[in-house]
Amino acid sequence: MTRILVVDDEPQILRALRINLRARRYDVEVAADGASALRVAAAQQPDLVVLDLGLPDMDGVDVIRGLRGWTPVPIIVLSGRVGSGDKVAALDAGADDYVTKPFGVDELLARIRAVTRRVVHSDNSPPTVRMGQFTVDFANHVVEADDGNELRLTPTEWHLLGILARNPGKLVSQRQLLHDVWGPQYERESHYLRQYMAQLRRKLEADPARPQHLLTEPGMGYRFRP
Amino acid sequence: MTRILVVDDEPQILRALRINLRARRYDVEVAADGASALRVAAAQQPDLVVLDLGLPDMDGVDVIRGLRGWTPVPIIVLSGRVGSGDKVAALDAGADDYVTKPFGVDELLARIRAVTRRVVHSDNSPPTVRMGQFTVDFANHVVEADDGNELRLTPTEWHLLGILARNPGKLVSQRQLLHDVWGPQYERESHYLRQYMAQLRRKLEADPARPQHLLTEPGMGYRFRP
DNA sequence: GGCCCGCGTCAGGAACGCGTCAAGGAACCC
DNA sequence: GGGTTCCTTGACGCGTTCCTGACGCGGGCC
């Protein structure tokens, strides 16, 4: 199902779009200001963003730039401003389309179809996981920071992180981790786990001493929280 | 250079667009009716079509369908009709954007940039790949430097580079490379890989010791970065 | 309060993988 | 048959990764 993030500070527009989009079988997330738009986009990984330029806290163009810093997600801009300068600025910042208010819902839906049609055909969505400022792509074995830098993991680190990430939110026992990564005869070498979990935290956690994603369950195992 | 086909039956609009687009370093082809538009598109293979819906010989939506029958080329529609039904029909027929007359040239140029930007990003597996100062053409098995000189690759080098280039950005395991190039019984002869990757880097990388495109992932495999 | 266990951290040495140079041998062209 | 190109194979230095041991800390238990 296509997930759409709608960003608008006017409750009635938000409500109208949500109802209309849900009726068309879209999965709808909403945000009422720029900061939460960026936060929800990072957490929910929408397939499309419908963005009102007139937000209370940020300039809409800055929201576009904030998104474009790390994601190619299609962006359709809604705006009451009809000036050509606004359109050019938004489109050149990375927006895919620009619709001026008042707009017809039919037209917006058609533009949503036009944009998603092109992206779906071209983009093969890899199974990717967000961890703080990092995007971990297990299919391509790439860890990319939001600033564009790449982070390198060793084969053992990939193996360990992969098992945890494939069980998001679930507790994975030490025995199972040791068995899967090192082999059956290493099931009591919990030292290995401590060693490599520390390495992963150093590389991926903002504060390795207070991990937000790679959690320890004392006496039991480890847990990955997305 | 980006080639744009402009389709319009009004000579002054055609003229204005041609001048403006040429000034922006676009390669411009023109057509004054639907039939010639389809003919020129087939002959010239434009990277973008700007299409006026009000043509003398055909309905504009049929021109869109005629193009979409065989090419995914981006289409930006110009139209004097502001009705929502026309927009929806054109977009659902396969148009990427819809601009109502009168329009600002700046806005149209920004929309052209927005559409071409996305298509270039999404272009999948071209038969030719850029690597530093070289252009690698896999269809014809030719490597040409920017200064016009040609570079020769051996069959094994073509085979190896081809597999990597068909998976841009993706990590390809040593096993898979060895299996595909040398055969199943060579999956552990990683020495071959080191040997041939070094040869490819000597030929294609500006600084073979610091490769920019043919990257090693220690313990895992190799990766081609365009 | 003292003890023990589990966890996190640091530091060293061993082992492995990678890049490079070099040379022998096979296939092909003239 | 001579020469060239290409593939295969060997040996070596170096950096990284992995393994291993030691230590400090905190919580639970007696």
Asked whether residue B189's C-beta has any atom of DNA/RNA strand D within 7 A, the reply is yes
Smallest CA–CA distance from A151 into chain B, residue: B217
Q: Which of residues 192-211 of A touch strand D (CB under 7 A)?
A: 192, 195
CA B207 to chain centre: 28
In this model, does residue B159 exceed pLDDT 50?
yes
In this model, does residue B54 exceed pLDDT 50?
yes
pLDDT per residue as tens digits for the range A166-186: 778 889 899 989 998 999 889
pLDDT per residue as tens digits for the range A16-64: 999 999 999 899 999 999 988 988 887 677 899 999 998 999 999 999 9
Tell me the CA–C1' distance in angstroms for B20 and C21: 58
A128 forms beta bridges with A137
Interface probe with A: pick from B100, B112, B118, most Cβ of A within 10 Å: B118
What proportion of chain A, given as a percentage, has pLDDT over 90? 57
Q: What is the C-alpha to C-alpha distance for residues B168 and B224, in angstroms, rounded to an integer?
A: 5
Q: How far does chain A reach from its first CA to its final CA, in angstroms?
A: 21
Confidence of residue B195 (pLDDT cuts 50, 70, 90): very high
Q: Which of residues 146-165 of B touch strand D (CB under 7 A)?
A: 152, 154-157
- For B205, the token pair is 């990388």
What proportion of chain B, given as a percentage, has pLDDT over 90? 52
Tell me the CA–C1' distance in angstroms for A218 and D26: 12
Contact check, Cβ <8 Å, A72/B121: yes
Alpha helices by DSSP H, chain B:
11-23, 34-44, 60-68, 84-93, 105-122, 155-165, 174-181, 190-204
Laid out side by side, the sheet with B27-31 consists of B27-31, B3-7, B48-52, B75-79, B97-100
Closest by CA to A41, choosing from A77, A11, A10, A71, is A71
Contact check, Cβ <8 Å, B220/A155: yes
Q: What is the C-alpha to C-alpha distance for residues B180 and B160, in angstroms, rounded to an integer?
A: 8
Q: Is A22 within 8 Å of A28 (Cβ atoms)?
A: yes
Chain mean pLDDT for chain A: 88
pLDDT at residue A71 in the model: 78
Classified as helix, coil or strand, B210 is: coil
Q: What is the C-alpha to C-alpha distance for residues A17 and A168, in angstroms, rounded to an integer?
A: 31
Q: What is the C-alpha to C-alpha distance for residues B129 and A50, in angstroms, rounded to an integer?
A: 34
pLDDT at residue B131 in the model: 87
What angle (nearest 5°) sits at the alpha carbon of residue A95, between those of residues B126 and A18?
115
In this model, does residue A70 exceed pLDDT 80?
no
Chain B residue numbers with beta carbons less than 8 Å from the beta carbon of A96 are: 114-115, 118
pLDDT at residue B66 in the model: 85
Residue pairs spanning A and B at CB distance below 8 A: 87
Identify which has the larger pLDDT, A5 or B70.
A5
Interface probe with B: pick from A113, A116, A141, most Cβ of B within 10 Å: A141
In this complex, is the C-beta atom of A120 within 8 Å of any C-beta atom belonging to chain B? no
Burial of B55 (C-beta count, 10 Å sphere; 0-12/13-18/19+): buried
Interface probe with A: pick from B64, B84, B223, most Cβ of A within 10 Å: B84
* Strand C bases within 7 angstroms of protein beta carbons: 6-11, 17-22
Minimal CA separation from A72 to chain B, in Å: 9
Q: What is the pTM of this model?
A: 0.55
Confidence of residue A119 (pLDDT cuts 50, 70, 90): low
In this model, does residue B125 exceed pLDDT 50?
no
Q: Is B127 within 8 Å of B139 (Cβ atoms)?
A: yes
Q: What is the C-alpha to C-alpha distance for residues B87 and B163, in angstroms, rounded to an integer?
A: 43
pLDDT at residue B226 in the model: 82
In this model, does residue B101 exceed pLDDT 50?
yes
Q: Is B61 within 8 Å of B40 (Cβ atoms)?
A: no
